[in-house]
Structure 1
Amino acid sequence: MARRKNMERRRVILGNTFKLIRENGLEKVSLQMIAEKSEISKSLLQSYYPHKSKLISDIARNLLTTLSSEVDKYDDIGHSSPYAHMKAFIYTVFILGSRDEGLDRIISQAITSSDSLDNWGDVLLSWLKENNIFGEYPEDFHDEIATGIAFVAVGVGRLYHERKKHHLTAEDLANYAISSLMYSFCHEDHATIQKALQDGHRIIASADMSSIHESIDKMFDPGKDIIS
């Protein structure tokens, strides 16, 4: 019972923080504001989240996990390569950030904060392991995939932050991420890389962004499972 109450309070805190940052930006949101909106004392809030960085990290992880679940529902996703699937996931994150100023505040903070940056790689690696995508490959290949994803998470995160300067679309960013991973770390040939990018394009063309937005808006609603 105590653990359930603990997670319920964390859900409320995370949901309120998510709303405040979407509306105002991280810099304008204080722990006192979060505590007041959550109807608890600042000291109690800090017993759960001593610093805003941990709040951002948990929000980013819940956001990316929610998006990962939504991407799994895309048409033909189960018949495509893991690379095409990853392209669809990365595209979805960045297209939502490009279209929604509030989500962009969350995503931008996540990819520039050393405390939350690892969430990108963690979500992708978790998905790969849960679906045993590279299960038949030797262990050293798994290590190379993990290294590649860590590299891509940092690189594509920086490009997202500077996307307007370089006139990059969400699909450009997804293509750079996947082609870099496939070529530099998975040693795939040009034809295989192009097929993965084309398959990924076909997948994202079927995406219903309105339903994904709805899932994000409700991810901290009462009764929802959260990661914290």
Structure 2
Amino acid sequence: MARQKNMQRRRNILRNTFTLLRKNGINNVSLQMIADKSEISKSLLQSYYPHKNKLIIEIVTNFMSTILQILNSDKFQNVNTYAKMKAFIYILLEMGLRDEGISNVLESILKDPDSTEKWGQILDNWLIDEGVKDDLGNDMQLKPGLAFIVSGGANLFLKRQQFEVKAEKISDIMVKTFMTTFLDFPDERVNETLKEGHELIEKFEIDEVFHAVDIMFS
């Protein structure tokens, strides 16, 4: 019973934090604001999450995992892993372009080194779940590659107006760099993957992701 209550309280805290981040962005949300919205004391909040950054990391994990769960559904099981990676990056960034609240959350993530590192870890774990990581080489190739494309993609998104780049262009650059520079795939394979990723994006229902994100802490 106590465990269930703790889980419910954690979900409530995460839901309220996510709501506040969507409205205000990370720099304008304090632990006290989260505690007030959750109708608990700040000290009780800190017994669950001593620092705001721990809350952000958990929200990053849930946010990105929600998108990946949809891409891992049965209807996409025969899609190339790297095409799905392109679609994942596109969906993540496109949500930020379409929704100001998601943009506040996404920019908070992309400006935080711990959060971008978590993004790389999530992709690394996903490659394991997809069953392809053992064929790609060792961590000395993969982890620097993921760290490089995540930080580069984050900078492109944050400067998207300056460079006039859209979500799919950024996802193309990230996946192409990962496949060619770090995994040594031939250009023909890379181009086929980017095309397959585009086709997946074309038929993907992004409203389904918005709905899943809206209820992920319910």
TM category, shorter: over 0.9
**Judging changes above 3 Å, is the alpha-carbon distance between structure 1 residues 178 and 74 closer, same or farther for their aligned structure 2 residues?**
farther
| Contact 2:141/2:183, CA 8 A, preserved across alignment | yes
Q: Are the aligned partners of 1:74 and 1:203 in contact in 2 as well (CA < 8 Å)?
A: no
Task: Name the SS of the counterpart of 2:96 in structure 1.
Answer: helix
Query: Where do 1:35-184 residues align within 5 Å?
Result: 35-73=35-73, 75=75, 77-135=76-134, 137=135, 140-184=137-181
* Distance in structure 1 (CA, Å) of the matches to 2:160 and 2:71: 23
Deviations 1:27-81 (A, max 9, x none): 2222111111111001111111122211111111110000111222485x32232
Match of 1:216 in 2: 213
Q: Which stretch shows the higher mean deviation, 212-221 or 52-61?
A: 52-61
Deviations, residues 177-196 of structure 1 (Å, cap 9, x unaligned): 00000110000111111001
Q: What residue is the counterpart of 1:224 in the other structure?
A: none
Which sections of structure 1, spanning at least 5 residues, go unmatched? 222-228
Distance 1:183 1:176, change over 3 A: same
- Aligned-residue sequence identity (percent) comes to 39
Deviation of 1:26 (Å): 2.0
Could you tell which deviates more after superposition, 114-123 or 166-175?
Answer: 114-123
What is the root-mean-square deviation of aligned Cα atoms in Å? 1.6
**Structure-2 separation of matches of 1:115 and 1:6:** 25
TM-score normalised over the length of structure 2: 0.94
Tell me the distance in 2 between the aligned counterparts of 1:82 and 1:176: 16
Name the structure 1 match of 2:20.
20
Equivalent residue pairs, number: 218
Q: Per residue, is there more helix in 1 or in 2? A: 2
Structure 2 unmatched ranges of 5 or more: none
Cα drift, residue 142 of structure 1: 4.8
Give distance in 2, aligned partners of 1:78 and 1:196: 15
SS at match of 2:77: helix
Q: Aligned partners of 1:102, 1:74: CA distance in 2, in Å?
A: 30
Q: Find the aligned partners of 1:207 and 1:143 in 2 and give their Cα distance.
A: 33
Q: Which residue of 2 aligns with 1:226?
A: none
Q: State how far apart, in whole Å, the 2-side matches of 1:96 and 1:164 are.
A: 16
Corresponding residue of 2:197: 200
